[in-house]
Chain A
């Protein structure tokens, strides 16, 4: 079940490796470096005494594992020895104490080595030699000490980004880079990649995924490689990892799914940034297939926006509908509203918005494209304008916020500003990441709204603009629909959040004219920001306190779940941190979730 491997062939790429296969065979005994419960990095056979005579199986490591009660490693060692000598059987007196062949028990040195205390082990050996000058430590012990030191050098050079030194250290001690020291192998591959030796990086990853037997190790390797290799090479790597040298009992489907996850992420990212038609037909077809297979609502929404931007409203509507069926959300409904609006089907657009109306600012915004809150000089030409989406509606429907700004600017230049126009300008500026101007636009809208004459039905909410904000919807028994004044105040608050004005906003929030939902949303965002700051300040209990309070207002999004994981980790609540990262990673594995999971895992199992 374990497979011999060393990456010396890669390290000494140009060198013919004399006896390389022997070295690989020697390293297979503990190819469990990532398995739970293994607390040491040093894997292969420890023991005392000298090397066994040729033809005789060396059982010292096996006896050592038996003595310390490491069942998993014992099994691995038995498998290794059987592979070396198919006729060999484990000794019956495996658990019986064995007399030390040379009169010196090496166990204390092995224990120090196992605990990562290499310098202490060397010192103890020197002290023992001073006491017993005729005694020689076993070759195996010395070899393991060398290996541990090399691994330390690789780690140290890698941590400080001295990439060439990583390669040099690995070349000096090729045995330090093996399946049972997978972290070193990853670091070597990364070093090659950083040194722009992509072919060697690829070869290193390839050796890992074709020779290390564990499916999890292969899968992790593909994720690691994704930072450095092209999609084509990753595809090749995944195909190899899923098929090459399969070990009994391992399920390599997870290796294939890793590639699919990466592929989906990559394509969806491209979808989000893509200009219309930027994705090839093949890529588009592939991402559609993946999204359908996984019933990935977020993916379907991304596809919906991709088509929406192309003004292919029918296709967009299909994907938004699909997303809403898989996982109903205001995000999916927002797309659906705008897609129906693009198709000119306002009734369907309103119907799609209905479940979220007044509950989601996203939907309330989208509805403005369906029923624009026009003033007397609105962009559509006033109430008597012909039916059908105006130029501004169409710009909003295709999320073209630059056009939104241009159209509003033109309208204002022609007919003067209205509160509704300025408010819409604020939202479009926010989308364009211009929060300071957005805040000013909302403030201006507020001022203008207060001056505009009351006009029945002038706004989508039916609130008299002149009295905006003076009426409490909750008190009047109406649903919590925001008045224009509240929408302006909400817009200003969102803009202030975007500018990082946390202190000022926290101070002003109690006096702000907001609906309860809006207030809760802003408060949740403020707490999220404060939690992030607390994490930076290393106030980990504060992080948890703020996130717990926030959770009472809104469900915790995954990015804050990651923050919670790190807070737990830094409070040394490693098990809880692991559970937290795991629950996030199980739902959707990302680089952040994997990093948290791997770090917590390594800390718990001392697997650095």
Chain B
């Protein structure tokens, strides 16, 4: 292989040495705490949950006597995911909290963030028949579970749900993935995952789903609703 010959002057040697030192220094910095290696490494795992005021939630739920907001929490996973958990009232004596979970996946805001992303906090597809069966069995033990054949629609499009019933109570598990960032989601938001689990007294499934049907996302950025897109 031909090698290009180059005259090595003292200047070149000095410049070369300086470049070498610079590279070494950069390498040292990058592999030490100074470059934030430890911090960046740590930010890939979820922070502990922290309580927030309901007003700080990125979602508004219609007023409900049966399912008021009991507590609101949030946590971050890396710099990409924010997860909000809204504990709702539960008028039954069944085990398990009624809740709405909102996962917001934003686009990384730096090259490093793009390169080092935490594992996705929700699976896609959100459920398979196997995982749905396992989840409903865990959430609604000893109840008769049925997966709805037909999706329902709220402000943000179609969502799927399963119902569970026993002699006195009914429950629903609804899930939705919003990924239409060309039309519905603003540029910075990659996806929003919603999951809603509620149990109530009686057998009125529609009443249980009403808060999910009527919720409004209030993320800082504009999110368009399905009806907003009707004229597009």
Contacts and interface: CB of A to CB of B under 8 A. Distances in A.
Interface of A: 401-406, 409, 432-437, 439-440, 499-504, 529, 533, 536-539
B70 A501 contact: no
B180 to A, nearest CB: 31
Contact of A503 (B50, B93, B95): B50
Contacts of B95: 401-402, 432-434
B183 interface: no
Contacts of B50: 501, 503-504
29 contacts: A401-B93, A401-B95, A402-B93, A402-B94, A403-B93, A404-B93, A432-B95, A432-B96, A433-B96, A433-B97, A434-B90, A434-B95, A434-B96, A436-B71, A437-B87, A437-B97, A440-B70, A499-B87, A501-B48, A503-B48, A503-B50, A504-B50, A504-B51, A529-B48, A537-B41, A537-B42, A537-B45, A538-B41, A539-B42
Interface of B: 41-42, 45, 47-51, 70-71, 73, 75, 87, 89-90, 93-97
B97 A501 contact: no
Question: Residue among A434, A529, A536, A537 with the most chain B CB within 10 A?
Answer: A434
Contacts of A403: 93
Contacts of B47: 503
B70 A536 contact: no
A449 B96 CA distance: 27
Instruction: Tell me the interface secondary structure of chain A in the complex.
Output: helix
A182 B93 CA distance: 51
Nearest to A437: B70
Contacts of B87: 436-437, 499
Nearest to A539: B42
A-B pairs with lowest CB-CB distance, top 5? A436-B87, A402-B93, A405-B93, A500-B49, A436-B71
Contacts of B42: 537, 539
A533 B49 CA distance: 12
A282 B50 CA distance: 49
A435 B96 CA distance: 9
B70 A436 contact: yes
Contacts of A406: 93
Contacts of A435: 97
A500 B51 CA distance: 10
Given A437-B70, A503-B48, 13 more contacts: A401-B95, A406-B93, A433-B96, A433-B97, A436-B70, A437-B90, A499-B71, A499-B73, A500-B73, A500-B75, A501-B49, A503-B47, A533-B45
Contacts of A529: 48
B128 to A, nearest CB: 15
A335 B47 CA distance: 38
A327 B160 CA distance: 51
A491 to B, nearest CB: 15
